[in-house]
Structure 1
Amino acid sequence: MTETPVSEMSFEAAMRELEQVVSRLETGNVPLEESIALYERGASLKKRCEHQLKAAEEKVAAITQDAGGNAVGTAPFETE
């Protein structure tokens, strides 16, 4: 776990730390007080990731829609 404030973390850093928190909690070998602190940190990390994903989705939507809400400059994704 880092000491970096969650509000200053990149999406990738927050996800990495969230995965570490979950892994530590899943072991069940963490004292109660530490478990509570980890859970609180994990909740903050989750919220940060959700916020950053929502912001990214809004940016993509703004880029791919015109003023009328119609998709522009996009083509269907095709797989071979």
Structure 2
Amino acid sequence: MAGRKKAADFEQQLARLQEIVDALEGGDLPLEKSVALYKEGLGLARASREQLAKARNEIRLFTEGEVRDFDPEEGDDGDDR
């Protein structure tokens, strides 16, 4: 369920970021509002990039076989020697 919440949060961030871009591209906002939206957009973009980087690293770990199921018979370091 936590994965779904993260995905929903990410999607909500992207949707809000798109709203901000649309508003700024419209050019009808006062300067103060434009600056505030720009700052909010930077924060959302940064948070989204961080989430994507974490997801990319998780996928890399799984696809490169670095993550293994725990086997109590193997010992602490996973070495059978």
State the partner residue of 1:44.
43
Post-superposition offset of 1:66: 2.8
For structure 2, list consecutive stretches of 5 or more residues without a partner in the other structure: 1-7, 67-81
- The percentage of counterpart residues that share the same residue type is 34
Mapped to 2, the partners of 1:13 and 1:53 lie a distance apart of: 14
Mapped to 1, the partners of 2:11 and 2:65 lie a distance apart of: 30
Residues 27-49 of structure 1: CA deviation (Å, up to 9, x unaligned): 00000000000000000000011
State the partner residue of 1:14.
13
Mapped to 2, the partners of 1:12 and 1:47 lie a distance apart of: 14
For the aligned residues, what is the CA RMSD? Answer: 1.2
Mapped to 1, the partners of 2:26 and 2:65 lie a distance apart of: 49
Residue-pair matches, total:
59
Query: What pairs up with 1:34-73 in 2 under 5 angstroms?
Result: 34-67=33-66
TM-score normalised by length of structure 2: 0.69
Structure whose CA Rg is larger: 2
- Write the letter of the residue equivalent to 2:17: L
Give 4+ residue runs of structure 1 displaced > 6 Å after superposition. Answer: none
Mapped to 2, the partners of 1:19 and 1:42 lie a distance apart of: 9
